[in-house]
Amino acid sequence: MKNLISVVIPCFNEEEALPYFYDAVTKQSDVMREKYAVDFEYIFVDDGSTDDTLSVVKEYAAKDGRVRYVSFSRNFGKEAAILAGLEAARGDYVSVMDADLQDPPELLGEMYETIVNEGYDCAAARRVTRRGEPKLRSLLSRLFYALIRKIAKADIADGARDYRLMTRKVVDAIISMREYNRFSKGIFGWVGFKTKWIEFENAKRVAGETKWSMWKLLLYSADGITSFSTMPLAVSSVVGMLMCVIAFVMILVIIAKTIIWGDPVAGYPSLVCIIFLVSGIQLFCLGILGQYLAKTYIETKKRPVYIIKENNLEDN
Ligand code: UDP
Ligand code: MG
């Protein structure tokens, strides 16, 4: 029996990039079929695209039996698309790859060799440069990774991409995580297994626009932190405690001052500042608490992570 490699491709409004992608990935498959005698299947997950992504994918499916697809009823996000793809994948090895060629398909050969010859369970791509990315964006990304590496209970590498090749065991472990708030980079790290990081230079997307605005990235990072760490809760309690101690000391100082020097009416500005500061900290901590509560609320609803509108999974 030949080994089967499934390639999962989350696509959201990628009609412009898909032709380049399909070209590149099929070329790479041909190379690998020759070299390692492996079979391929491609699982395109149309994440509620509003352009012609789905019809492009259907065209490929009509002429190429290796193409399978799932189409969502609306945009559920990349994380949901990855889960749907992994669930549909039948391969002995499964790869997750972006549709915009920022994840070079040529790395797949090296990843496959790493797993088969070196005994790793997973080979993942990590970009060492962020060339061609806005400066502020890459600075914030770096800060985010530095922070989450410190406080999260999962191994998350800086510059890690979702691009990787995994064995069936790893895929099954990921699928078994049924949480609704899916931060893939955290999930990949959390399941463990032996992962080798393969480094590569950042590539620009071939066509189309990035789907991530600064605001979306910011929310995504907050999501990542609250999904994989409860450290902010601890920090807020420590800060709260510290504030109490400071207040207590201040009370003692004021009592002593009043007894010694009487009570001249002064210090109104500093009082206002303190009130603002303390209520600010309180609101901030309440906000953190709220984030976790909201997460718990959503999780307890046990909603499906995605809803499929149509697919050809049973056909071939
Ligand atoms: N994507 C998706 N759903 C979304 C946003 C993005 O499936 O809601 C897909 C997108 O089609 C692409 C991959 O996720 O294949 C990465 O997106 P993008 O290139 O926009 O992100 P960037 O590379 O800029 O981080
Ligand atoms: Mg991209």
Domain that holds residue 108: 3-228+304-311
What does the radius of gyration of the chain's CA atoms come to, in whole angstroms? 25
In a domain, 67, yes or no: yes
Mean pLDDT of 175-196: 86
Examine the domain organization and report whether 41 and 125 are in the same domain.
yes
Examine the domain organization and report whether 208 and 246 are in the same domain.
no
Mean pLDDT of 166-171: 93
**Is 162 close to ligand 1, i.e. is its CB under 6 Å away?**
no
- Confidence (pLDDT) at 316: 65
| Residue type present at position 121 | D
**Is 11 close to ligand 1, i.e. is its CB under 6 Å away?**
yes
Confidence band of 90 (pLDDT split at 50, 70, 90): very high
Percentage above 90 pLDDT, the chain: 26
Q: What angle separates helix 214-228 from helix 135-151, to the nearest 10 degrees?
A: 10
> What's the gap between Cα 220 and its chain centre?
7
In a domain, 70, yes or no: yes
Examine the domain organization and report whether 171 and 296 are in the same domain.
no
**Is 57 close to ligand 1, i.e. is its CB under 6 Å away?**
no
Q: Whose CA is nearest to atom 19 of ligand 1?
A: 210
In a domain, 179, yes or no: yes
**Is 99 close to ligand 1, i.e. is its CB under 6 Å away?**
yes
For the chain, how many structural domains are there in total?
Answer: 2
pTM of the model: 0.78
- Confidence (pLDDT) at 73: 93
Beta carbons of 231 and 153 less than 8 angstroms apart: no
Dist. CA 251 → ligand 1 center (Å): 54
Residue scoring higher pLDDT (146 or 267): 146
Range scoring the smallest mean pLDDT among 74-88, 104-118, 131-145:
131-145
Residue scoring higher pLDDT (287 or 262): 287
Examine the domain organization and report whether 87 and 202 are in the same domain.
yes
Examine the domain organization and report whether 131 and 197 are in the same domain.
yes
In a domain, 272, yes or no: yes
What are the two backbone dihedrals, phi and then psi, of residue 48, each rounded to the nearest 5 degrees? 60, 40
Distances (CA, A) of 63 to 56, 223, 316: 11, 40, 12
pLDDT at 9 over 70: yes
The per-residue pLDDT for range 276-299, each reduced to its tens digit, is 888 888 888 888 888 888 888 888
Element (H, E) at 247: helix 231-261
Confidence band of 249 (pLDDT split at 50, 70, 90): confident
Examine the domain organization and report whether 101 and 172 are in the same domain.
yes
Dist. CA 181 → ligand 1 center (Å): 17
Examine the domain organization and report whether 258 and 205 are in the same domain.
no
Please name the residues in contact with 35: beta carbons below 8 A apart, sequence gap of 6 or more.
109
CATH number, domain containing residue 162: 3.90.550.10
Examine the domain organization and report whether 219 and 255 are in the same domain.
no
Examine the domain organization and report whether 274 and 236 are in the same domain.
yes
In a domain, 316, yes or no: no
The per-residue pLDDT for range 40-87, each reduced to its tens digit, is 999 999 998 998 999 999 999 989 888 999 999 999 989 999 999 999
Examine the domain organization and report whether 241 and 221 are in the same domain.
no
